[in-house]
Amino acid sequence: MKTIKQEYKICSKIDRVWEALTNPKEIEAWGAGSAKMDDKVGTKFKLWGGDIHGTNTKVVKNKVLEQDWYGGDWPQPSKVTFTLSEESGPLRSRSEARKIKVVLVHENVPDEEAGNIDEGWKDYYLGPLKDYLEK
């Protein structure tokens, strides 16, 4: 089993990044297809019409979203953790967005799928989410 770690800097507000990770309408807007999601522990979520599914296991609003993930017919879940933090420093105005650091850690990824999943995070999930929020 492999662990994937990626880090993104998104020019946005932290609550917008959180919404893009947890609100089905926002998830669908950046490209994850039909989604069932919220920011409650125990929620059974589905992305891409159910191709990816699992359970929210830890939720700290605007900070941590931890999930058990299943892809395809995996017998055991992998674990996905999104950690959000705001870069510090002065803003020119109250409406100015800060850089939000999003750290993804995806653990227990089947060895034979790790390369595709690593690229998938960039091409289909966090890359499009970043592009959507920075438009």
Q: What is the pLDDT along the chain (135 residues), one digit of tens a residue?
A: 999 999 999 999 999 999 999 999 999 999 988 999 999 999 999 999 889 999 999 999 999 999 999 987 788 999 999 999 998 766 665 556 679 999 999 999 999 999 999 999 999 999 999 999 998
How does pLDDT run across 42-73, given as a tens digit for each residue? Answer: 999 999 988 999 999 999 999 999 999 998 77
* Chosen CATH of 13-134 out of 3.30.56.10, 3.30.530.20, 2.60.260.20, 3.40.50.970: 3.30.530.20
Using the CB atoms, write b or e for 42-55: b if 16+ within 10 Å.
ebebbbbeeebbbe
Provide the token pair at 22.
């947890």
Q: For the chain, give every domain's residue range.
A: 13-134
Q: In terms of residues, how long is the chain? A: 135
